[in-house]
Amino acid sequence: MEPGDPLPLRRNSRGWFTYNAHDRGIGKLAKGFVPSNTEASTIAGMVHAISTVRHKDQDPEYAIQCVCEQWELIVPELVYRARR
């Protein structure tokens, strides 16, 4: 994946998830994520950036949950359309 690639967004009973162009799960949005505007609907998502996250840079409380030394984090860009 690279910036600009499509990043479909879907909701299920466990929250909001992102997928790649081959319908493979990529990540989960924050637990508290809700679309920012109830008068709009999400029409597109795309990769805004890809960031490398390192275990050693995490807060100690979170670091104990890390299962690898580093990983890539997909930063999504969500595009909204006003509902009519």
pLDDT digit string, tens, across residues 7-45: 988 888 898 899 988 999 988 888 888 776 666 666 678
CA distances from 13 to 16, 31, 37, 47 (A): 9, 12, 21, 24
pTM, full prediction: 0.72
- The residue that leads in pLDDT, 68 or 25, is 25
Give the pLDDT band (50/70/90) at residue 6.
Answer: very high
- The residue that leads in pLDDT, 44 or 68, is 68
Give the pLDDT band (50/70/90) at residue 49.
Answer: very high
pLDDT at 59 over 70: yes
CB-side neighbour CA atoms (13 Å) of 31 = 0
